[in-house]
Amino acid sequence: MTRPVLVLNGPNLGRLGSREPDVYGATSYAGLVEECRTFGAELGLDVEVRETNDEAELIGWLHEAADGRIPVVLNPGAFTHYSYAMRDAAAQRTAPLIEVHISNPYAREEFRHTSVLAAVASGTVAGFGLASYRLALRALAEAPPTR
């Protein structure tokens, strides 16, 4: 039996492959989706990948995950640095939540050095390109099914 996992992506991640390939790589968003689903299946996870530029929609998905006790891999994009509403939604988690970043925020502009979500996440994986998602999925596969 596979365990459900949501991989949630915030603003501009749908532009992977064309958005700053020197920072985010050349793989398209469709490639990321396929990689997460395939790797997740190898780990016994039923991975659903979503992306939005809308903060309210992303918060709604976090509520859905909390209500369903569904583990989450979350790349909040720019919301990482200022969305206290998203932080409050993530704090309601009832299963592991791993914050993910493709690049290393600490090696970039100073405003990217602060994550308002990190304190309520189970952990953070950053700086390994799309492998950050694989590392997060592996951690979820090995984590106990509850918070």
- pLDDT tens, position by position, 53-93: 999 999 999 999 999 999 999 999 888 887 999 999 999 99
Confidence of residue 22 (pLDDT cuts 50, 70, 90): low
Gap between the Cα atoms of 95 and 144, Å rounded: 9
Of 1-10, 90-99, 131-140, the least confident: 1-10
pLDDT recorded at residue 107? 62
67 — phi, psi (to 5°)? -65, -35
Q: Residue 144: pLDDT above 80?
A: no
* pLDDT surpassing 60 at residue 25: no
* Predicted structure pTM score: 0.89
82: annotated active-site residue = no
Q: Is 24 annotated in the active site?
A: yes
Per annotation, catalytic residue among 82, 84, 101, 106? 101
Please say if the pLDDT value at position 112 is more than 90.
no
Q: Judge whether 86 and 59 are in contact, CB under 8 Å.
A: yes
CATH number listed for the domain at residues 3-142 = 3.40.50.9100
75 is in an annotated binding site: yes
φ, ψ for residue 95, nearest 5 deg: -150, 165
CB of 77 closer than 8 Å to CB of 11 = yes
Helices (H), 53-130: 55-68, 84-90
Annotated binding residue at 103?
yes
Q: Is 63 annotated as a binding residue?
A: no
Residue 21: predicted pLDDT: 58
When the pLDDT of each residue in the chain is averaged and rounded to a whole number, the result is 88
- Write down the domain spans for the chain: 3-142
- pLDDT at position 28, please? 78
